[in-house]
Amino acid sequence: MTQVEDPKTPSRLIDERIASLGDWRGETLAKVRALIHEALPDVVEEWKWRGVPTWYHGGGIVCTGETYKAAVKLTFAKGAALADPTGLFNASLEGNVRRAIDLHEGDAIDEAALKVLCQEAAALNTAKKKR
């Protein structure tokens, strides 16, 4: 018996997740997704760990976009190594590697700072790949 691959691309699965949320979380996830694409036009979208939108660039994870009842969480895989002069990181601060941004209903997004953070994460991935 041959295995049939799911015809849905990661991007389509992310589209469906955004649509299925139907509230501020979907709007927020769509907004940060657009900002990630603006910051990194050649970013690669993946669908990992049974339903987590994940953005890759330079051979590594830039960030993931998890949705919870009260938050949209952007987790930067190597966030502890990134400069965060505007203080976007507000979660997972105790870890040695990851850092996260929890966005709650009504939160404003510092779009310029988020784009810079994504670009720094991609540059870090590229730098580590060249070693």
CATH (domain of 56): 3.90.1150.200
CA nearest neighbour of 76 among 67, 87, 89: 89
Q: Which domain holds residue 39?
A: 10-130
Share of the chain above pLDDT 90, in %: 80
Q: Does a structural domain hold residue 118?
A: yes
Q: Does a structural domain hold residue 1?
A: no
Q: Does a structural domain hold residue 93?
A: yes
pTM given for the model: 0.89
Give pLDDT, residue 90: 94
Number of independent structural domains in the chain: 1
CA nearest neighbour of 31 among 103, 85, 123: 103
Q: Does a structural domain hold residue 5?
A: no
Q: Does a structural domain hold residue 62?
A: yes
For 108-118, what is the mean pLDDT? Answer: 96
Q: Does a structural domain hold residue 106?
A: yes
71 contacts 104 by C-beta, under 8 angstroms: yes
Q: Does a structural domain hold residue 78?
A: yes
Tens of pLDDT, residues 21-64: 999 999 999 999 999 999 999 999 999 988 899 999 988 999 99
45 contacts 11 by C-beta, under 8 angstroms: yes
* Integer Cα distance of 131 and 126 in angstroms: 9
Q: Does a structural domain hold residue 20?
A: yes
Torsion, Cα 129 31 42 121, to 10 degrees, reads -20
Helix, strand, coil shares, percent, the chain, to 5: 40, 25, 40
